[in-house]
Amino acid sequence: MATAFMELALEQAKFALDNLEVPVGCVIVEDWKVISSGSNKTNATRNATRHAEMEAIDVLLREWQSMDLDQPQVAEKFAGCDLYVTCEPCIMCATALSIIGIREVYFGCANDKFGGCGSIMSLHKGATSSSDDLSGSQASKPKGFKCTGGIMAEEAVALFRCFYEQGNPNGLYFCMHILLYNDF
């Protein structure tokens, strides 16, 4: 079943690639049904925090807010959800997933530069003694989550290769290349 959900996450990543975004996609699943999906939108929004995970979380938060769910009800909902994402969540996203109390995360390829689920940091393991002091609120303390990586990793890496081979039109190298080698 993990492969079927990862295939849907890969579709979201392909959508991101088609829109000149870093090709990361995800789906959030509750009771074996996809209830939200997201893809990177950092370039479109010019906001470096608009990762696939944050996009999918925000869809649910808006939906649950419209249903007048309170904070404990939202926390209970997230505790019954799993997230499938094509690349290991970065440190920011892993922290957010831990705080909201997602039950489990399944990812494709590792994130050797910014990975928050074991590659760089292990934020999925939950609160540490230093993070316990960050907030007086129990609701905002990292809870941790189960994490499984390597699901369809080759497919996820292939999308990254496509992205970097075509060039990132919002990346510094691409912009410098355009400026240096074109007459205006």
Structure tokens at 165: 């081979």
How crowded is residue 86: how many other Cβ atoms within 10 Å of its Cβ? 31
Q: What is the pLDDT of residue 137?
A: 56
Tracing tokens 């079927």 back to the chain, one arrives at 4
Q: To which CATH superfamily is domain 2-181 assigned?
A: Cytidine Deaminase, domain 2 (3.40.140.10)
Report the C-alpha gap between 79 and 64 in whole angstroms. 14
Q: DSSP letter string over 74-120?
A: HHHHHHTEEEEEEE--BHHHHHHHHHHT-SEEEEEE--TTTBTBTTS
3-class secondary-structure state, position 39: strand
Contact status, residue 151 vs residue 2, Cβ threshold 8 Å: yes
What are the domain boundaries of the chain? 2-181
Structure tokens at 103: 């039950």
Contact status, residue 39 vs residue 10, Cβ threshold 8 Å: no
How confident is the chain (184 residues) per 10-residue block, as mean pLDDT? 96 97 98 98 95 99 97 97 98 96 97 91 72 52 90 97 81 46 42
pTM of the model: 0.86
Q: What is the pLDDT of residue 122?
A: 83
Q: For the stretch 119-141, what's the b/e string if a residue is b when 16 or more beta carbons lie within 10 angstroms of its beta carbon?
A: bbeebbeebeeeeeeeeeeeeeb
Q: What is the pLDDT of residue 177?
A: 40
3-class secondary-structure state, position 25: strand
Torsion sign across C-alpha atoms 84, 90, 94, 100: negative
Contact status, residue 105 vs residue 97, Cβ threshold 8 Å: yes
Tracing tokens 């689920």 back to the chain, one arrives at 117
As a three-state string, the secondary structure of 123-169 is HHHCCCHHHHCCCCCHHHCCCCCEEECCCCHHHHHHHHHHHHHHCCC
Q: E strands within 110-159?
A: 146-148
Residues with catalytic annotation? 53
